[in-house]
Amino acid sequence: MNHPKEFAEGLSIGIIMDGNGRWAKQRGLPRTAGHKKGAAVFQDIANYCEELGVSSVTFYAFSTENWKRPLEEVSAIMKLFGEYLLKGFNYKDRNIRIKFLGDRAALDAKLQKLMNELEEDSAAKTGMTLNIAVNYGGRDEIVHAVNELIAEGKTQITEDDITSHLYTKASPSPDLIVRTGAEMRLSNFLLWESAYSELYFTDVLWPDFDERQVDLCVKEFASRKRRFGGV
């Protein structure tokens, strides 16, 4: 069998990490326990993507709609986010570029500071780009891009204008989008960028996702025929 690296090298991948709450419920645990396990899995999978030579991976961590959840759950997610950023990535010694996608103005000031530092400190790295989408919505991203263009005085715009003003402007559009947790929808993830992405849905809940599952995704991707509208 081919090594998964052969399939994964150079790919741009988006991952919708869904199913934390159901995973916890199945075990009689609070939803926050699912988020905790999910945060650990996020790190493992990010590391594995780097190992496979993935060029860019985007994790959907918190959507613009996720504020609708109970305050307690939102606070727990934000706390985990801070902890994993602080301790999790030993980024100074690593060759990964970290970018945050989304409207960070709504986040805690300390968290914003940390996010800015991580981005600045890793900006010159040459390895995998790790995008983390927090308070991210695909529609919000497009509106934000258009508002920037208006502020620049544009009255006519092109597709390239929008693409170059998205939060994802530094990354290629995803070749493959993976969603765990059995739902088959994008839930406002990378709406513009996903125009020609291959979609992969799995019933596996995010806290159960592992390296073997990544291997299955990239292998399936390699068997798809991409036509981009051609023949």
Which residues of the shown chain bind ligand IPE in the complex (CB under 6 A)? 16-22, 60-63, 66, 77, 181, 183, 185, 187
Output the residue with the shortest Cβ distance to Mg ion. 18
59, β-bridge pairs? 15, 132
- 135's enclosing H/E stretch is strand 129-136
Contact pattern for Mg ion over residues 101 through 130, marking x by CB under 5 A: ------------------------------
Distance between CA atoms of residues 180 and 200, nearest Å: 9
Stretch in the footprint of Mg ion (CB under 5 A) among 3-11, 18-26, 89-97, 133-141? 18-26
In terms of CB distance, is 18 or 140 closer to Mg ion? 18
Q: Which residue in 2, 20, 44, 66 is the catalytic one?
A: 66
Partner whose binding site includes residue 14, from ligand IPE, Mg ion, none (CB under 5 to 8 Å by kind): none
Tokens representing 212? 């073997």
Closest CA to 50 of 98, 117, 102: 98
In terms of CB distance, is 169 or 185 closer to ligand IPE? 185
Q: Are 187 and 157 in contact (CB under 8 A)?
A: no
Distance between CA atoms of residues 43 and 134, nearest Å: 15
In terms of CB distance, is 98 or 205 closer to ligand IPE? 205
Partner whose binding site includes residue 58, from Mg ion, ligand IPE, none (CB under 5 to 8 Å by kind): none
Least distance in Å: CB of 99 to ligand IPE? 16
Partner whose binding site includes residue 77, from ligand IPE, Mg ion, none (CB under 5 to 8 Å by kind): ligand IPE
Query: E strands within 33-114?
Result: 56-63, 97-101
Helix (H, G, I), strand (E, B) or coil at 7: helix
In terms of CB distance, is 83 or 152 closer to ligand IPE? 83
Distance between CA atoms of residues 223 and 214, nearest Å: 15
Residue selected from 12, 14, 17, 18 as contacting Mg ion according to rule CB under 5 A: 18
Closest CA to 131 of 97, 86, 93: 97
Distance between CA atoms of residues 91 and 104, nearest Å: 20
Least distance in Å: CB of 202 to ligand IPE? 13
In terms of CB distance, is 123 or 182 closer to Mg ion? 182
18 is a catalytic site residue = yes
Tokens representing 160? 């390239």
- Catalytic residues, which ones? 18, 66
